[in-house]
Amino acid sequence: MQFSAAQIAMIINGSIEGDPGTAVGSFGKIEEAKKGQLAFLANPKYEDFLYTTEASIIIINEALKLRQPVNATLIRVPDAYSSFAQLLGAYQELVAKQLKGIQQPSLISNSASLGENVFVGAFSYIGDNVQIGENVKIHPQVYIGNDVKIGKDTVLHPGVKIYQGCKVGANVTIHGGTIIGSDGFGFAPQTDGTYKKVPQIGNVVVEDNVEIGANCTIDRATIGSTIIHAGAKLDNLIQIAHNVEIGSYTVIAAQSGVSGSTKVGKNVMIGGQVGIVGHITIADGSRINAQSGVTKSINAPMAVTGSPAFNYAAALRAQAVSRNLPELEKRIKELEKQIQMMLEKAV
């Protein structure tokens, strides 16, 4: 597909410097883009590439002052990064609209309800009494269990598995290999040292505008629901245990895990490889640094780091002190010598 500078400027509400008829058919990074590609410049560190790139169209900030002439057609916007993201979204939506119909082989229950303009990729399975909204895109090899509900404009990438009874909202994106609704990790210890499985009869509820990365696992509740609230964003390789709640607009980076029944508040930022124990609460607006281990509730918004995690500012002070320990040890030994000499003189 080819798009002109005039068409692109209309989508992102930008102003053109150069030829409005310049056309592009793909995207490229500004440092390596070729003719016929569109690039963007948001980070000043890459400004030198603006004058050497072969890109045909470049999106730049309104405030940027050129140091020399540029060969490409420019589109100026208030925020080049946001406008580029907007353009990519529009392009992705356009591509998605071309996916329609039901590919074969696939198995769809006669009791399932599919909305208009739904796409079902080959080798997918849709169980009994499933309800799927309009414009949903189900890529190949997706499994949707009985009684699942999926809202409009949601995208399920290849290999997604959604177990029975779970609910997924509108405009949700779930990437390949993710499993929604697997059993929570519940086993009751017995007197003979064995474990008896506790049936997990709840479900998972994923609200609107959530994005879940690849190869995540979100366990169904023992009773009730594991809930990912509206607008939350989960990276790849994340484990969410049974009966957890993730607050609206919270973001979690890769390889993090949240143990059972923990309640994570709204607008929380969780770095990569964070571990959070079960049955605690994380206050709205908290910040948890990468590789932290959170072992108790965070009752007021704060930044924490370390394992066990504690206040970020205090952690920095502790690190500064630890770096000075060799010098402090030397000074203490010197003071001990001086005290010993004073005591000997006094005798």
72 burial via Cβ count (<10 Å: 0-12, 13-18, 19+): buried
Q: Evaluate if residue 310 carries a pLDDT over 90.
A: no
pLDDT of residue 56: 97
| pTM assigned to the model | 0.81
pLDDT band at 31 (very low <50, low <70, confident <90, very high): very high
Share of the chain above pLDDT 90, in %: 84
Mean of the per-residue pLDDT values of the chain = 95
What pLDDT was estimated at residue 290? 96
pLDDT in tens, 243-290: 999 999 999 999 999 999 999 999 999 999 999 999 999 999 999 999
Residue 315 pLDDT: 75
Active site residue 242: yes
Residue 98, pLDDT above cutoff 90: no
In the chain the domains, ranked by start, together with CATH numbers, are 3-97 (3.40.1390.10), 101-313 (2.160.10.10)
| 90-94, 104-108, 255-259: segment of lowest average pLDDT | 90-94
Catalytic residue among 139, 157, 175, 242: 242
The pLDDT score that the predictor gives to residue 14 is 96
For the cut 90, the answer to whether the pLDDT of residue 296 exceeds it is yes
